[in-house]
Amino acid sequence: MAAGAAVGAWVLVLSLWGTVVGGQNVTARIGKPLVLNCKGAPKKPPQQLEWKLNTGRTEAWKVLSPQGGPWDSVARVLPNGSLLLPAIGIQDEGTFRCRAMSRNGKETKSNYQVRVYQTPRKPEIVDPASELMAGVSNKVGTCVSEGGYPAGTLSWRLDGKVLTPDGKGVSVKEETRRHPETGFFTLQSELRMTPARGGTPHLTFSCSFSPGIPRRRALHTAPIKLNVWAPEPVPLEVQLVVDPEGGAVAPGGTVTLTCEAPAQPPPQIHWIKDGTPLPLPPSPVLLLSEVGPQDQGTYSCVATHPSHGPQESRAISISIVETGEEGPAAGSVGGPGLGTLGLVLGILGGLGTATLLIGIIMWQRWRRRGEERKAPENREEEEEERAELNQSEEPEAAESSAGGQ
């Protein structure tokens, strides 16, 4: 019973919808009228037909029929059963279906998928370069397309061939904006290129706009021809700076090597230890943390620039010194100059200390001699004082004895 009911339901659906005829894609220009034919419908009333629309203007299917009247100024059914859109717009993109019944009772369905378009103005290259420099990245210009729908795409050509961005010698920066009221698009594409040294002295560029819908012609800008010149290469100075200065570090310490190579664009920096390239990604800084015996050796850096080629710095030695030992003097890679200066200063300091000790000993001896000279003089003074005291005591004793008699 259930299976029979399901088969009956499908038969009923097919009988209601009939044969699907005329399913196709339709492209219409914005602002122009569009007429969609309802296949199988009688050319004159009375007619049994129905249009159903699902577009940007509707939240659900909109139904139109000859008896129902027009849909504002958007669409209406013509006397022959066709559907007229007087001025199609972006919101009219969508699905249009018609179901019609012929005089002999045959039902036909038409199905249309409608897309709209607007041809933009001819693209142009604004702010073009006056010339290009070989070996460096140059801005060629900006291609602009305005007033198109759908957005479409911009592409560049070099000497008539499509130029594909590779992120290295050729790069493109694109921007798409949409007008808030009209819905039309503005496209911008900025081209940068690095001409090869020793290449052709003249390059011809152009830009093309490709519509976002099929069977529409591309639009092209007028070509621009630019001269390419190669400047004389300037030697690239590569300097290697080490911290701590001198390259001597205690076990477990940290050493920072910085490779300085001023150039535009910045060169790629690779590192070499004891004549062997280190398997590290390019970086201007090499950090050696928790330095151990395996980190000792001679280091240098290589700066690679498209205009100069590879340039290697002077070598710097990294060594480990135990706690309490004095490494090479600061400010020099090997430290021979300041090491000699430190030795001289040490000798002079020792001589100064010896001179001071000799002076102290001589002063102490002089002081003892002075005290020995003063000792006899002090004894003579003490005897004279005692003699004077004795003389003064004798008369006093005589007077006291006479008084007693």
Kindly give, in sequence order, each residue whose CB lies less than 8 Å from that of residue 243, ignoring residues fewer than 6 positions away.
Answer: 255, 256, 258
- Tell me if residue 330 falls in helix, strand or coil: coil
CA–CA gap between residue 109 and residue 50 (Å, rounded): 10
* Predicted confidence (pLDDT) per residue in 199-251, tens digit: 889 999 999 999 988 888 999 999 999 999 987 766 778 999 999 998 999 99
- With residues binned 3-state (H G I as helix, E B as strand, rest as coil), the percentages for the chain, rounded to 5, are 20, 40, 40
d(CA 387, CA 22): 162
**Number of CB atoms found within 10 A of residue 88's CB:** 21
Omega of the bond leading into 244 within 30 degrees of 0 (cis): yes
Round the average pLDDT of the chain to a whole number and report it: 82
The maximal CA–CA distance of the chain, rounded, in angstroms, is 198
Query: In the prediction, which pLDDT does 19 show?
Result: 32
For residues 354-360, give the mean pLDDT: 75
d(CA 56, CA 219): 29
User: CA-CA distance, 152 to 119, in Å (whole number)?
Assistant: 10
Closest CA to 64 of 90, 36, 98, 88: 98
**Whole-angstrom Cα distance, residue 319 to residue 248?**
5
- Residue 12's pLDDT is 32
Instruction: Report pTM.
Output: 0.55
The total of other beta-carbon atoms located within 10 Å of residue 195's CB is 22
pLDDT score for 142? 97
Q: Using an 8 Å Cβ cutoff, are 145 and 197 in contact? A: no
| 104-133 burial code (b ≥16 CB/10 A, e <16) | eeebbbbbbebbbbbbbeebebeeebeebe
Type of residue numbered 355: T
Backbone angles phi, psi at 196, to 5 degrees: -75, 145
> What string of DSSP letters covers 215-245?
T---EEPPPEEEEEE-PPPPPPP-EEEEEST
Report the alpha-carbon distance of residue 96 to residue 62 in Å, rounded.
10
What is the predicted pLDDT for the residue at 389?
Answer: 54
- Position with higher pLDDT, 328 vs 320: 320
Cα 404 to Cα 103, 161, 390, 392, 393, distances in angstroms: 193, 157, 22, 20, 17
pLDDT of residue 173: 96
Say which residue, 392 or 91, is predicted with more confidence.
91
